[in-house]
């Protein structure tokens, strides 16, 4: 049962062919994952397992079906591949439904996907980091009197891909993350915050103490927050929140949405959409990036694609199917049956978040948002938010219980300042940036 991932993928491809598929592609993902949580002075969760799953895409004369399974027994796999190929026969013929044309993987240099300390670090040391974050949060301020837990997690993940046109490749990547979530007492109320970091390895990470302090500061600084007045104001998105906004924009840049016209960017290639500060890139080859890999989920080599250049929409991001549909080529962004980010980011400017605040006579800076109201087809965007009122270029007081609303297209055009503080800790990241005016709904 501990068969080589490439061999299991190869076997699934052979089974599909035997069932009558004229093309197929199989991916084995094997992830050895550790996770732990501390609360107070105790380890409250400890988990370690190897998860394995196989996914298969089979084409029968331009009809596509997929299979995902954790049942990897020989008899289970055989029956499921047969069921998958049979299901394909219910799908309508699509002339574009086929594997990507073979394309050699170029020499991409060292992508720095593995850091040895994920494997090398002992369990005791990881648990000590979780406990240290719990202590440091409480030491920061007496109002920190509880927590939602501090977490340390890591994984070593192998991806093996084989297709019936002769592609055969695999890579292994490591990841590690630390996070802390304090609860503070604010008079009769409770407040919480969350702060964490992810990297390819532990050595690249801020220290547990530093993560705990930032988390505690974020919760404590919000004490006494009130609702702001309704109005239109400049809005600064702090790095973590800015990354979420960029994630919403990714949806509109995805060729899967553009191809079905479920994007406000559809049909606007070459147009000036954003301000001059908006240069957005997807780079699958960024060394050490959390979205870096030599090839995408279809075995297409990853690359660097300019999506926006100084506000001008240059390219959408594609897997093979949606690229064919719009008469173009894959950008190496296939993921999980659709289009996904590699390292999708807003090109950083200069200076810090503090510099942005100092350059804002009146406005708000947002540190946290909740909700997920984004309509890709119109660009309509709104979220619940919390953060600080800025007066005279300085933080004046904390604010919460309000919403910010706008339209992604208008927001891109109104980006008037970008900081230089981007960190590549997830596949979609952004530096802090400012939007000249958005509707703030409070009292």
Q: Which of residues 194-253 bind other proteins (CB under 8 A)?
A: 227, 230-232
Residue 234 CB, nearest distance to other proteins (Å)?
15
DSSP-derived letter for residue 218 is H
* Owner of token pair 């990354």: 243
Residue range at the interface with other proteins (CB under 8 A); choices 257-265, 273-281, 302-310, 348-356 = 257-265
Q: Are strands 380-391 and 189-192 parallel, antiparallel or unpaired?
A: unpaired
Q: Which helix (H) or strand (E) holds 221?
A: helix 208-221
Describe the crossing of helices 74-88 and 5-19 by its angle, rounded to 10 degrees.
Answer: 50
Are 409 and 384 in contact by the 8 Å Cβ rule? The answer is: no
Contacts of 353 (CB under 8 A, 6+ apart): 236, 238, 239, 365, 419, 421, 432
Q: Stretches 75-83, 275-283, 290-298, 425-433: which one binds other proteins (CB under 8 A)?
A: 75-83
Q: How far is the CB of 283 from other proteins (least distance, A)?
A: 27
How many whole angstroms separate alpha carbon 158 and alpha carbon 50? 11
What gap in Å lies between CA 221 and CA 235, rounded to an integer? 19
Q: Which tokens sit at 357? A: 């605040």
- Judged by CB under 8 A, the residue of 7, 18, 51, 271 near other proteins is 51
Asked if residues 393 and 363 have their Cβ atoms less than 8 Å apart, the reply is: no
Tell which one of 8, 19, 21, 67 touches other proteins (CB under 8 A). Answer: 67
Residue owning tokens 């069932």: 19
Q: How far is the CB of 421 from other proteins (least distance, A)?
A: 25
Compare residues 106 and 224 and give the one whose CB is closer to other proteins: 224
Tokens of 390: 């800025």
DSSP code for 104: P
Q: Which phi-psi region, left, alpha or beta, contains residue 309 (left: φ > 0; alpha: ψ -120 to 50)?
A: beta
Which residues are 406's β-sheet partners?
381
Q: Smallest distance, Å, CB 320 to other proteins?
A: 14
Looking at residue 207, the DSSP 8-state letter turns out to be P
Complex with other proteins: residue 51 or 142, whichever CB lies closer: 51
Q: In terms of Cα–Cα distance, which of 428, 316, 332 is closest to 106?
A: 332
Among 61, 62, 384, 420, contact with other proteins (rule: CB under 8 A): 384
For residues 120 and 336, which CB has a smaller minimum distance to other proteins in the complex? 336
Of 78 and 355, nearer to other proteins (C-beta) is 78
Task: Report in angstroms how near the CB of residue 349 gets to other proteins at its nearest.
Answer: 27
SS3 253: helix
Choices 83-91, 159-167, 210-218, 269-277; region in contact with other proteins by CB under 8 A: 83-91
Are 233 and 365 a contacting pair, CB within 8 Å?
Answer: no
Scan residues 348-367 and list those touching other proteins (CB under 8 A).
Answer: none
Q: Which stretch binds other proteins (CB under 8 A): 105-113, 185-193, 303-311, 358-366?
A: 185-193
| 125: enclosing H helix or E strand | helix 123-140
State both tokens at 89: 């026969």
- Of the candidates 152, 151, 158, 160, the one whose C-alpha atom is nearest the C-alpha of residue 113 is 158
Binding to other proteins, residues 328-347 (CB under 8 A): 337
Minimum gap (Å) between residue 423 Cβ and other proteins: 22
Among residue numbers 86 through 125, which ones bind other proteins (CB under 8 A)? 86-92, 94
**Which residues, numbered 134-173, are part of the site for other proteins (CB under 8 A)?**
146-148
Give the tokens for residue 303.
């690359």
Q: Which is nearer to other proteins, 107 or 370 (CB)?
A: 370
18 binding other proteins? (CB under 8 A): no
| Residues in region 400-439 near other proteins by CB under 8 A | 400-407, 439
Q: Which residues, 290 to 319, sit near other proteins by CB under 8 A?
A: none
Interface stretch with other proteins, choices 10-18, 66-74, 235-243, 303-311 (CB under 8 A): 66-74
Q: Which of 210, 355, 375, 416 binds other proteins (CB under 8 A)?
A: 375
Site stretch for other proteins (CB under 8 A), options 71-79, 235-243, 350-358, 413-421: 71-79
Binds other proteins by CB under 8 A, chosen from 4, 48, 352, 397:
48
């Amino acid at each position: 049962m501990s068969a080589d991932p490439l061999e299991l993928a190869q076997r699934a491809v052979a089974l599909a062919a035997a069932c009558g598929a004229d093309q197929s592609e199989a991916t084995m993902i094997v992830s050895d994952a550790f996770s732990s949580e501390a609360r107070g002075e105790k380890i409250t969760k400890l988990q370690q397992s190897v998860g394995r799953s196989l996914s298969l895409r089979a084409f029968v004369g331009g009809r596509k079906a997929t299979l995902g399974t954790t049942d990897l027994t020989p008899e289970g796999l055989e029956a499921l591949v047969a069921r998958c190929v049979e299901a394909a026969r219910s799908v309508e013929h699509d002339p574009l439904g086929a594997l990507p044309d073979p394309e050699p993987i170029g020499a991409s240099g060292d992508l720095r996907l593995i850091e040895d300390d994920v494997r090398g670090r002992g369990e005791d040391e990881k648990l000590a980091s979780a406990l240290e974050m719990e202590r440091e949060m409480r030491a920061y301020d007496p109002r920190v009197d509880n927590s939602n837990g501090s977490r340390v997690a890591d994984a070593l993940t192998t991806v093996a891909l084989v297709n019936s046109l002769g592609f055969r490749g695999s890579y292994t990547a490591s990841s590690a993350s630390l996070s802390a979530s304090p609860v503070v007492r604010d008079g009769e109320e409770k407040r919480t915050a969350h702060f964490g970091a992810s990297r390819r390895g532990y050595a690249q990470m801020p220290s547990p103490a530093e993560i705990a302090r930032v988390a505690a500061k974020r919760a404590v600084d919000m004490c006494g927050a009130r609702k702001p007045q309704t109005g239109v104001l400049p809005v600064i998105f702090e790095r973590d929140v800015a990354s979420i906004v960029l994630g919403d924009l990714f949806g509109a840049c995805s060729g899967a949405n553009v191809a079905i016209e479920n994007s406000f960017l559809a049909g606007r290639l070459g147009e000036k959409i954003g301000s001059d500060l908006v240069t957005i890139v997807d780079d699958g080859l960024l060394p050490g990036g959390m979205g870096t890999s030599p090839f995408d989920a279809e075995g297409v080599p990853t690359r660097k694609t300019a999506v926006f250049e100084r506000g001008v929409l240059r390219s959408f991001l594609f897997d093979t199917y949606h690229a064919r549909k719009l008469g173009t080529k894959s950008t190496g962004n296939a993921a999980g049956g659709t289009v996904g980010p590699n390292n999708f980011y807003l090109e950083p400017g200069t200076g810090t978040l503090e510099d942005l605040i100092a350059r804002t006579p009146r406005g708000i800076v947002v540190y946290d948002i909740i909700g997920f109201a984004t309509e890709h087809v119109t660009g309509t965007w709104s979220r619940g938010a919390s953060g600080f009122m800025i007066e005279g270029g300085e933080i004046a007081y904390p604010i919460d219980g309000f919403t910010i609303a706008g339209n992604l297209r208008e927001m891109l055009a109104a980006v008037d300042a970008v900081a230089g503080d981007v960190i590549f800790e997830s596949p979609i990241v952004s530096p802090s940036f400012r939007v000249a005016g958005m509707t703030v709904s409070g009292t």
